[in-house]
A = this chain, B = another copy of it.
Amino acid sequence: MISHILINNNGVLEPADQAKIPAMDHGFLYGDSVYETLRTYDGMPFLLDLHMTRLERSLGRLSLTLPGERKDLEKEIDRTLSGYTEVIKGEWETQPDLALRIVVTRGVGPIGLDMSLCPETRFMIYASPIPNFPDDLYTHGIACVISSVTRNHPNALDPGIKSGNFLNNILAFRDAKDAGAKEAFLKGADGFIAEGTTSNVFMVENGGLLTPKAYGILDGITRRTLIEEAHRAGIDCQETDITEERLRSADEIFISSSIREVVPVTTLDGKTIGDGTAGPVASRMLKLYRERVQAEL
């Protein structure tokens, strides 16, 4: 719900239903912005350093700069977290875990594509409560589809840049919605499975994990963490090209995201994957991920 979202609007804490941005911001005119999504556990942002580093990488790719120093933005994140329950009067006794969307936008400038028209970037931090995902999500999983929409080509707009140009993902998600599913996988221009609209994808084959190579996708921080955890636990995990046919014949499929962690995919285009409930490898990866979360805190 929008009324539960707090926005740090370039330094001003405001409820989301009151926050506004300039109509001449190129983030609105052109989707010319980058962002990161991360979450808190027990009030602490998880793997913030990795997200900040990736944000800086996205910024650099678009010749954008932080509006201040990295440590200034980190202070603003802290200020957003500590101000949350003061500004947002929810039904919580203690602060809920929050999803943070950190946006840096090109800023205000005349209409035109020249980046130098906008002298100052702006930041926004959206903080919203993590929904209470039902246990069912992790035991019964979700339905997914393979989208008819092709993932943006890296030489057109690299999916490795986490930007405010999201129509490619929105169009793919429409395919999921139309089929009553919860996520859509896009194939790259090379025909291989790339990623979900807001997730990375893993499949299980003969007890080992396969996930698409980090080219033409967003190299998710949860994805990277899961690969590390698999290696540490002695589970084989290959980053490789995955055809649609191979994915369809997987023993298990799951998606990873910072907010939802590890969610089994139990039907694909209406066909049951495995026995239609969370498989042993997906469940183990979720457990390993949550143990890592506890270890990091």
Contacts and interface: CB of A to CB of B under 8 A. Distances in A.
Interface of A: 1-2, 5, 7, 9, 16-17, 19-25, 27-33, 62-63, 99, 101, 105, 108-111, 113-116, 124, 126, 128, 148-153, 155-157, 161, 163-171, 173-174, 177, 189, 197-198
Question: Which has the most chain B C-beta neighbours within 10 Å: A1, A19, A111, A115?
Answer: A111
B111 A197 contact: no
Given A31-B164, A152-B152, A153-B150, A113 B21 contact: no
B113 A198 contact: yes
Contacts of A155: 148-150
Q: What does DSSP make chain A's interface, helix, strand, loop or mixed?
A: mixed
A151 B19 CA distance: 34
Given A30-B166, A115-B170, A150-B153, 15 more contacts: A2-B108, A5-B24, A5-B111, A20-B21, A23-B124, A31-B164, A32-B166, A32-B167, A101-B111, A113-B169, A114-B177, A116-B177, A149-B156, A156-B168, A156-B189
Contact of A153 (B5, B63, B189): B189
B170 A30 contact: yes
Contact of A114 (B32, B109, B173): B173
Contact of A21 (B28, B101, B108): B28
Nearest to A161: B167
A118 B40 CA distance: 27
